[in-house]
Structure 1
């Protein structure tokens, strides 16, 4: 028998290695840039931008059903379980600030393929199944810095997180191929907060979280990220920490009710 976990398991696991989830998380230890003198006729402070490519070694637990009328199955996978099936993954976060106005974004793109063969079975012989999933998530938030000192900053933010998932299941039996495809997406409003503790000139702690969904897209989603950050200079820093992303989505026969958690590692470039 073909493993029941083929279709939903890795579809849910890898996409949120993120996620972002989810959603996305800001791994941005350098947003406290030196304030530049204002030029005549300009705003008091100029824009500061930073980009953070990152990885999230997340495991997943939850219930998923990526195809309509397919059974919902419980999934419990460690990060190491999915490495052999990963085709491509890209995770990028960006952050921008001008005085007290802040903008954050996060983009996740993941493609994986899992294959399994069983048999030979009576009459039909061997059966091979290939499951391919591509998942995309993008989060955009804007906010305001309500507290700003050299030792501590606190931001309030709001925005939206967009999800789109493509699934393809190909079953090869008796020289024929049977194909099942599914594609669905949703948009979640999110609200969040971000606190940055500067312990020394080079070392800081970042804590960020958000909640959303509220029945608009998913029923509910939440995210929490904590990182320790070391700044090599004004342009480059390393972040390491832990992230949890949870989402509860169910609509039109699709189920995506999962919690992902694991360590994160990112490198920030500021300009």
Structure 2
């Protein structure tokens, strides 16, 4: 390359579908109990209002940048018969034993991973990028409860809480050309270290097929773990499952 020439930017954007199951423990409200969650992808889809997933990658010379965005909006509704006495945050009274209760929980989770780094190895058969950055989380929950009992009559109340945190990350990205059209890629990170979450990590491994210079498709497996427990909020979950995406390069 002529030393007077400046290296060009390279960008790629990949929207993808992620058939993720969810397992773990969650306490969405500070005064609420912690509940265990174990949902296959079919149950996650039943509750899903909207889900969006996007990968962004850029390179300038040997400097690389990676971003991942996730937004999920779900509604989980329950109609429960006579229950033992319990307290709903924001309800104002303890719901007496034997009450009939309808409950609806709306949950929204936003996650953004932002990484930057340097391509430490680049050969025709192998590239390795070392990365560092952060993962931003925002979780919002709203509950609407209707209770009916002779001692309290019919009551309806709504209550909402949200919490956010930021996790530092370190990671890497490996790219291996397999043929002229096929390639293998994996990107992984780990972080938290008690700064936000106690631990968070993610990994995405995929096989890619190039259709044109600007378009390719990928099929792989993605997992995302976070273990957060602070001020009564617990968000200890593992999302994992196959993922497919289409990449545009420009």
SS at the partner of 1:84? helix
2:226 is the alignment partner of 1:244:
no
- Aligned equivalents of 1:266, 1:47: Cα separation in 2: 22
| Distance in structure 1 (CA, Å) of the matches to 2:5 and 2:161 | 51
User: Where do residues 149-228 of structure 1 align in structure 2 (5 Å cutoff)?
Assistant: 149-174=123-148, 175-228=154-207
Contact 2:21 2:44 survives alignment (8 Å): no
| Residue pair 1:124, 1:173 contacting (<8 A) in 2 also | no
User: What is the aligned partner in structure 1 of residue 76 from structure 2?
Assistant: 114
Q: Secondary structure at the match of 2:42?
A: helix
Tell me which structure has the larger Cα radius of gyration: 2
Alpha-carbon distance in structure 2 between the residues aligned to 1:138 and 1:269: 20
Check if 1:86 corresponds to 2:48.
yes
Match of 1:47 in 2: 9
Q: Deviations over 1:20-44 (max 9, x none)?
A: xxxxxxxxxxxxxxxxx76x8541x
Residue 259 of structure 1: aligned partner = 238
Distance 1:220 1:116 in 2: 32
Cα shift at 1:125: 6.5
Please report how far the alpha carbon of residue 58 of structure 1 lies from its aligned counterpart in structure 2 after TM superposition: 1.0
In terms of fraction of residues, the more strand-rich structure is 2
What are the ranges of 5 or more consecutive residues in structure 1 without an aligned counterpart? 1-36
2:21 counterpart of 1:63: no
The two structures have a TM-score, normalised by structure 1, of 0.81
**Secondary structure in 1 matching 2:25:** strand
**Residue 134 (structure 1) shift:** 0.9
The structure with higher relative contact order (CA 8 Å, sep 6+) is 1
- Partners of 2:20 and 2:41 within 8 A in 1: yes
Question: Which secondary structure does the structure 2 equivalent of 1:216 belong to?
Answer: coil
Q: Displacement of 1:115 after TM fit?
A: 1.0
Aligned length: 233
Per the TM alignment, residue 246 of structure 1 is displaced from its structure 2 partner at its CA by: 1.1
